[in-house]
Structure formats: structure tokens, C-alpha cells
Structure 1
Amino acid sequence: MAKKKMARGLIVLGGILLGAVSLSGCGNKTSDGKTEVEMISYKPEAVAAFEKIEERFNETHDDIHLTIESPNEAVTILKTRFIREDYPDIVGIGGDMNYSNFLDAGLFEDLSDLDVLKETKQAYLDMEEELKLIPTEGSYALPYAANAAGILYNKDMFEENGWKIPTTWSEFTTLCETISASGVQPLYLGFKDTWTCMAPWNALAVGLTDSDICSQVNKGEATFSDAYRETAEKIKELVSYAEPNPYAYGYNDACTAFARGEAAMYPIGSYAIPQIKSVNPDMNIGSFTFPANDSEADNVLNSGIDLQFSVLKESKNKEAAYEVLRFLYEDETIQIYLDDQGGIACKEGDFELAPELEDMRSYIEEGRMADFHDHHYPSEMSVDAMVQTYLLDDSENALDTFLKRFDTDWQRYNRDLIRKMQDYQEKQK
């Protein structure tokens, strides 16, 4: 989900061009008279699944031809196409700031009249709502597949030693002490790659702060200095249970070390499992919700929308695009995607859950989930580097310095959005 610093300029220009006349590529017909629907997906790793889905759709529809493209750097390509007024009919995009910015530019169609939208789990509809930079009536994305992040653990190692999955913060720290006393490294972090710092940060934050904290700050109703203090304290405590100098090892190092049994646990998302199993295909991996709180009832699973579909407002094939979305939301089609990519179905239903996520099942079924906080951070702010810098800072005032900088930088990099929010609030009054 790479975010480019040029994003805002491109989006503003794309928004200006929306008023122009129609675009190439929309309303096209194939040589045999079928309506051509083009979809761009930002997930090149899922190309095999999308090829199966595309083939299955085209075999079962006589009046519509579907083309799905999954290029590298899809978001950058989309920005360029938007500027050129060359719009696809559908985009498959993650639930992050790229989606938020495209929505804010007025690019997406309101899908409120799409019948299958009501089949989506409420937790993911709530996440889509919170991705709106400014409150806006309507639904503009169909959540499709989600991932989950907590703590991966070596199930065989836990079973051999009689270690139990912790459900509270005190149980977790006690477990880390017990594992360390047995001569095993409790955690592997791999914080050389700054983005990996965000895995435990997000997993802690969803249980310790409100899911809409970024919106609260933009409205002037809260500060990060207050909201993130406990999250910052606890992520720093993790370092004491990790490998020596975790800033010398990156994501690949951490995956390899965990796969080789060099640590009992690894605080990372489910997306790391394929990488780990490429080193140790037979590893028995489990994953549990980060026990951030003193009461299990207060814990929240960190789960975000990894893929959702939006229809471009400028598409001339809205009815055909809706038919594609209905097909994508059929149980059999969703299972094709999950079998290839893993994850969690955003649609209600009895879908097969990856065995590595079984310990998270109750949270998923109860809807005790909240989005990754960094899905709401502007890329220019480089929060991952800020967190790494804070963790490296051993000074007495490191915590206050970090929190003050978080608030200051937020105001700096979100000043336009904050101004728009203030204007919105004034209109509501």
C-alpha cells in the first residue's frame, strides 16, 4: 500500500478534471457487442485468483466482458489515468489513505443502491465510513477481504512448554518473562524496516484508543498526546522482550528467525505467514489478538480492509459494473480469492477461515475489530520513522517528546484537511 508524496497534487488535479467531458475506455463494446467492463486491482500478488475470477465471469455472462488488470504500482498508474481522464469502471483498492483521497476528490459512485452491500459485516462497513476524510452521505466501497494483525506464535513450542495464550497485558508480560527464563527469545521484531514498527503499534492502538481518534483530533476534540500515551509506553516495553538490537534486523530477517524457532512469538500481521512458510513450510503457526488491556473484554482485533471495490463515477457502464460486483460477492467467488490469498471475508457467511487465524475467530464473529490506525495517517508524516526514532530514544523525556511531535506534525501535514473539517463543522452549526 505504498503512498507517494505526489499523491495530493495528482488527486487535486484529477478532481479538477472530473468536470471535463467523458473519457476513453468507458461505454466500450467488444467486437461481438458485449459491454466491456474494466477493473484495475492494486494487488499484483493476487493475479492468479483474478484470472480465475475473470474467466469464470466471462464464461457465465453473454452480454458483459470483464477485464481485470493487476499492475505493479497500480495506485500510481490510477493517478496518472485519472489526470488523463482515462477511467476504468471499477477499482480494487485497500482501505487506506489512497482510497480516502480518491473519495475526497469525488471520484467514486455512491453504492448505497447496490443490493449486496447489505450482506457486508457491519464492522467493515464502519471502517469504510471512518475512512471518509469529511463525513459524507452514502457508501462508496464494497468491502471484500480483510487481514488481521496480532501476534503470531509457534504452536508446537507453546504446546511443548505448556504456555497458554495470554488474554490480558499482565498475562502477556508474565508469559514473556516465563519464556525468557526458559532460555527462549520471547519476541522477534525486525525494526530495521521502519514499517514493521507499525504492526505492534496498530495492534496495541486499536485496543487502547478510539477507532476514530484521527477524526476526533481533526475536529479539535482530542490530542494524540493523551490518546497515544499508553500505546507508546507499551510498544517500548516490547523491546525488552525482543532480540538484541532489533533495529539491526529487517522484516525478512524476522520472518526467517521466527520460522527457524529463534523466537516464540512475532508481533506482525497474517500477511507475513506466506513469507515465514517459504522458509519453513511445515511450521505450525497460530495467531492471537494482541492482549493490550487489563481486561480481555476490552481487547480489540486489529483487522483492516485489504481489498474493496469502488465504481468510478465517470463509468458509463454502471449497471454492468454492478453485475460484476454482484458476481464478485457470490460465496464461490469470494472463496476463490480466499483460497489464493487467505484473509477474512468481509461478507457475512460461513467462509473457511485459515487455520492460522482460528484463535481470532470469536473476535471476527463478534465484530470486535477495528482498522489499522496508520490507514488514516498521511504518508508525508512518516509515522513509522517517528515510532522507530522514539523507540531508539533512551532519554528521560522521550515519551513526551514523541507525543508532542506527533501532535505538531499532525497539524502540519493535515492543515488542509483540518480546515475542511472546520468548515464542515461550521456548516453543520
Structure 2
Amino acid sequence: MYNKDIFAKHKLAIPQRYSEFVALCEELVDLKVTPIYSTFKDAWTASQGLADYTLGGAVDINKFFAALRSVGADFTPGSELSFSQAFTDPLLRMQELAKFSNKDAANRGYGDGNLAFANGQAAMYLQGPWALPEISKTNPNANIGTFPLPMTEDPDDLKVRVNIDLALWIPEQSEHQDEARELLEFLCRPEVQNPYNEMALGFGVRSDSPPAKDKRLVQLQPYIDRGKVFQGVSTAIPRTIPFENYMQGLVTGSSVEQTLATLDADWARLAQRG
């Protein structure tokens, strides 16, 4: 997310390359404007925010995890197909970007971030549509836009992080299969889905879903239409691996090399058990 008023006031352009994003942050620092408001006290905001955007903008996440699944128990830490090999450069860039955060980021949580961004205390905020209702409670007139975080020097690599975290399913053991299917068919009707997505600031998943109408989201619609999306890494790693805490450690100064070696070892143990 970005504050349109701050960008307009200083005639700042939306970056499409990583170098442009870094230059933008440096210019904001010179202007004495906090480039990114971060809330690293809450570990999930480090992983679901900065880490997911950074990794997804540089690595083909779907392809990487498909390869991990195909290797299975033969996964080898530090090999060509490992977190250490695939994630090192993006996470070093993540640490570079984290330095453009507010000085008290390590002591600020999600609620603090919504309040601060609503009050114009930073130019950008690495969160998704779920934060907009909370921001609106503080400042209903906040002039907010959205753009994909560029992590390479090729604008064609720009993608939007999309986590499909709401799913409809029927347990095989259900004794009411017909009734459950009837409910699911009702919930999947356009006349039910479309108003819900509009209210919840979500993008529809049907091929005939209408485009987003909210002015804070319309800049992302072209990427959705072209399928330029990726699933967040944080949702692809089992909760038995403390990925959120690893990312929290990285944005507050831990070693990328050591952290990824630990993640490799965690994954190897998990794969061998599977």
C-alpha cells in the first residue's frame, strides 16, 4: 500500500524495478518521510508481509515447492534445490528494505501500523486488503493505492501475492453430503459471491467474476486478470516449522545464511518423516 497524497506531494513515481524501489526509499529518507511502516513485534507481519512479498517477487514459488514435493525425503540441505540456494539473495534484499522502516519497528505491532499508516506517518505499508477496514476506522478519507513490490529489474516479473485462505469443502465422513453440497452451491452463486467479495475487499476466483471496484484495489486488477500472482511462502511451510519467527529474526538482524541452514534442516527432518 502507498499513501497517494505523499507520492503526489513529492511527485514520486510508482517503481517497477527493484533499483527504482530502493531509490524511492532513499529519496523519502532525504525528504524526512518514513518510507515503510513496519510492525516486527508481531512475527506474522514480518513473514506474511515483507518476506512473502520479497520472496514471491523474485522466486517462482509454485515451481519451487512443486520441486520440493517431487524430491520428497531425498531433499538435501544446501543442495541446488534448497532454501539456502533459492532464498538467499531475495532475503538479503529483504534485509536491505527492512532498514527503510520506522526506527521503532521492532516494538510496533499490527494495530500500531494500521493507526500510523492511517495518520500518514509513512509513505508505504506492506499489508493487504484485510488491513483497509481497520485503517478506515481511524481515517475514512485515507488516500491509499496499491502496487506490487518490485524485486527484480524486469517489470514483467511484477506479481501480486494472493493467499487463498478461504475454502469450501465437505468432509468425506459427513452424514449430510447432499445438504452440504446444496449449501456450497448456494455460496458459489455469483449473486452471493460477488457482494461478499466487494464487501470483504477480495478478488473473485471465477472466470466471470467482476473486477474490483474499490479505488484502493483497482491498480492490482490488471495483474489478477493476467494471472500475475503468487502464493505466499509463509502459507506453504507447515506450522511445525517456525518460519514466522525466522523471518522476524532476519528483519531484526539475524544471519540469512544461518537462518536458511536451519530452515533446510527443518525441511529435511519433515520430509524424512513424511
Would the aligned equivalents of 2:194 and 2:209 in 1 still touch at CA under 8 Å?
Answer: no
Match of 2:242 in 1: 382
Matches within 5 A, 1:170-181: 170-181=19-30
The question of 1:195 aligning with 2:52 is answered: no
Matches within 5 A, 1:242-321: 242-321=101-180
Higher RCO (CA-CA < 8 Å; seq separation 6+)? 2
Residue 339 of structure 1 aligns to which amino acid in structure 2?
E
The question of 1:207 aligning with 2:52 is answered: no
Match of 2:32, SS?
A: coil
The Cα of 1:350 is off from its aligned counterpart by: 4.3
Match of 2:187 in 1: 328
Q: Distance in 2 between matches of 1:374 and 1:388?
A: 12
The Cα of 1:269 is off from its aligned counterpart by: 1.7
The question of 1:403 aligning with 2:260 is answered: yes
Would the aligned equivalents of 2:17 and 2:153 in 1 still touch at CA under 8 Å?
Answer: yes
Match of 1:217 in 2: 68
The question of 1:167 aligning with 2:16 is answered: yes
Q: Which has the higher strand share?
A: 1
The question of 1:366 aligning with 2:226 is answered: yes
Match of 1:19 in 2: none
Deviations 1:213-245 (A, max 9, x none): 234234137100011012211110112211114
Q: Distance in 1 between matches of 2:137 and 2:242?
A: 30
The Cα of 1:392 is off from its aligned counterpart by: 2.6
Q: Distance in 1 between matches of 2:61 and 2:178?
A: 34
Residue 40 of structure 2 aligns to which amino acid in structure 1?
F
Query: How many residues are aligned here?
Result: 263
Would the aligned equivalents of 2:16 and 2:155 in 1 still touch at CA under 8 Å?
Answer: yes
Q: Distance in 1 between matches of 2:197 and 2:209?
A: 13
Residue 122 of structure 2 aligns to which amino acid in structure 1?
A
Give the gaps of 5 or more residues in structure 2: none
Would the aligned equivalents of 1:217 and 1:224 in 2 still touch at CA under 8 Å?
Answer: no
Deviations 1:55-95 (A, max 9, x none): xxxxxxxxxxxxxxxxxxxxxxxxxxxxxxxxxxxxxxxxx
Match of 2:2, SS?
A: strand
The Cα of 1:318 is off from its aligned counterpart by: 3.0
The Cα of 1:250 is off from its aligned counterpart by: 1.1
Match of 1:343 in 2: 202
Q: Distance in 1 between matches of 2:198 and 2:229?
A: 22
Deviations 1:76-123 (A, max 9, x none): xxxxxxxxxxxxxxxxxxxxxxxxxxxxxxxxxxxxxxxxxxxxxxxx
Would the aligned equivalents of 2:46 and 2:251 in 1 still touch at CA under 8 Å?
Answer: no
Aligned-residue sequence identity (percent) comes to 29
Match of 1:230, SS?
A: helix
Deviations 1:127-175 (A, max 9, x none): xxxxxxxxxxxxxxxxxxxxxxxxx111122122211111111111111
Match of 2:37, SS?
A: coil
Q: Distance in 1 between matches of 2:45 and 2:30?
A: 26
The Cα of 1:352 is off from its aligned counterpart by: 4.4
Residue 20 of structure 2 aligns to which amino acid in structure 1?
E
Would the aligned equivalents of 1:378 and 1:413 in 2 still touch at CA under 8 Å?
Answer: no
The Cα of 1:181 is off from its aligned counterpart by: 1.2
Give the gaps of 5 or more residues in structure 1: 1-151, 418-429
Q: Distance in 2 between matches of 1:329 and 1:187?
A: 38
Match of 2:84, SS?
A: helix
Q: Distance in 2 between matches of 1:318 and 1:279?
A: 44
Residue 52 of structure 2 aligns to which amino acid in structure 1?
N
Match of 1:82 in 2: none
Match of 1:186 in 2: 35
Matches within 5 A, 1:102-181: 152-181=1-30
The question of 1:241 aligning with 2:92 is answered: no
Match of 2:169, SS?
A: strand
Matches within 5 A, 1:409-428: 409-417=266-274
Residue 203 of structure 1 aligns to which amino acid in structure 2?
Y
Q: Give the structure with higher Rg (CA).
A: 1
